[in-house]
Amino acid sequence: MSQYWSSLVHTLTPYVPGEQPKVNNLIKLNTNENPYPPSDYVLDAIKKATDDKLKLYPDPNADVLKKRIADYHNVDANQVFVGNGSDEVLAHAFQALLKQEKPLLFPDITYSFYPVYCGLYGIDYQTVPLNDEFEIQVADYSQECGAIIFPNPNAPTGRLLELDEIEVLLQSHTQQVVLIDEAYVDFGGQSAISLVNKYPNLLVTQTLSKSRSLAGLRVGFAVGHADLIEGLERVKNSFNSYPLDRLAIYGAVASFDDEQSFQESCKSVINTREELNAKLLELGFKVLPSAANFVFATHPQFKAVEIAAKLREKSIIVRYFNKPRIDQFLRITIGNDTENQALCVALEAIIKG
């Protein structure tokens, strides 16, 4: 059979997202969404945006949102870029900033989108092994490189690199862009956004998908030196795209206005994470310390793939990665109290028989 697509596209290895099941009544703990809904305040703002302006195009620059994020993080509006989820922001960053003559560095166990973008944009990369405890060690990033990217906390491990370590990295890489992907930072990390005015080579990305319960709205952003942001804008404007629709712009602004709901939902997720952690330890799992809204756990006697299959029979889905070094681990998103209790009961039945 003839192939109609080009040989370049044929060689791409696309990203495989976590399952979004088509059936209801599953306890869905596989793609790190927030178990709590957005607040009424945010929902009202989205509803209000369905006014007679919906017939008009949105502001292609989403200025009102950039200004709100800038105020929230104490930077100037020209230091903020917004996009359709942080995946789109990252895509633009790979194209605009991370494609250099020397290879891009990222951890060997990390967000699986990174090698996909490298394939798409023809970016040479090298992976840097995590240590035995699945930690990023900045001393391991001393080889020649064009740029560095990693999530903090890392995914799927949940392990956090402290800000002082990030500063060590920034001080030794003043000529390279260092991109910190903070998709999960609000669940126990400290944001490196506080460092962007000190290090012009630092770009930080965040998302409203996790800690702000807005995965369905698709909003992400980057904060950094205005020159880095300009690079992202140039790529975006080359597509004549409207990154955010009107509802997303106003829903996102409202989310930053509703600090209390945001803090409360983060606190609930963190509390449940600690409860789940304790239960997993009681059942004999080894659990990596997590600063995210998921845990990464392995059991010495049971195969991760089999635990995942048995949970699935009980209508609970968790994430399993069939990859070297982590194929004995499960990544479990933190659910609400009811979901967590059901998970704990199911795990106990599987482990204790």
Residues that bind ligand PMP (CB under 6 A): 85-87, 111, 151, 155, 181, 183, 207, 209, 215, 220
Computed from CA positions of residues 331, 29, 295, 206, in that sequence, does the dihedral angle turn out positive or negative?
Answer: positive
| Alpha-carbon gap, residue 189 to 223, rounded angstroms | 17
CB 163 to ligand PMP: min, Å: 18
Give CA separation, 162 vs 122, 158, 223, 254, in Å: 31, 13, 19, 30
Closer Cβ to ligand PMP, 151 or 188, answer by number: 151
Closer Cβ to ligand PMP, 155 or 195, answer by number: 155
Closer Cβ to ligand PMP, 242 or 310, answer by number: 242
By three-state DSSP, how is residue 223 classified? strand
By three-state DSSP, how is residue 105 classified? strand
Closer Cβ to ligand PMP, 204 or 346, answer by number: 204
CB 295 to ligand PMP: min, Å: 14
| Alpha-carbon gap, residue 183 to 206, rounded angstroms | 5
CB 302 to ligand PMP: min, Å: 26
Closer Cβ to ligand PMP, 111 or 302, answer by number: 111
CB 128 to ligand PMP: min, Å: 16
Closer Cβ to ligand PMP, 87 or 186, answer by number: 87
CB 278 to ligand PMP: min, Å: 25
- What the block records as the tokens of 58 is 């949105």
> What residue ranges in the chain does DSSP mark as E strands?
27-29, 80-83, 104-107, 125-128, 147-151, 177-181, 202-207, 220-224, 286-287, 294-298, 316-320, 329-333
CB 80 within 8 A of CB 100: no
- What the block records as the tokens of 38 is 């957005």
Please list, in sequence order, all residues whose beta carbon lies within 8 angstroms of the beta carbon of residue 9, skipping any fewer than 6 positions away: none
Closer Cβ to ligand PMP, 181 or 186, answer by number: 181
Beta bridge partners of 179: 149, 203
At residue 144, φ and ψ (nearest 5 deg) are -55, 130
Closer Cβ to ligand PMP, 197 or 242, answer by number: 242
Chain residue whose CB lies nearest ligand PMP = 85
CB 122 to ligand PMP: min, Å: 21
Helix (H) or strand (E) segment spanning residue 343 = helix 337-352
| Alpha-carbon gap, residue 150 to 22, rounded angstroms | 32
Closer Cβ to ligand PMP, 45 or 214, answer by number: 214
CB 290 to ligand PMP: min, Å: 13
Burial class, 218, CB count within 10 angstroms (exposed 0-12 / middle 13-18 / buried 19+): buried
CB 155 to ligand PMP: min, Å: 4
CB 121 to ligand PMP: min, Å: 17
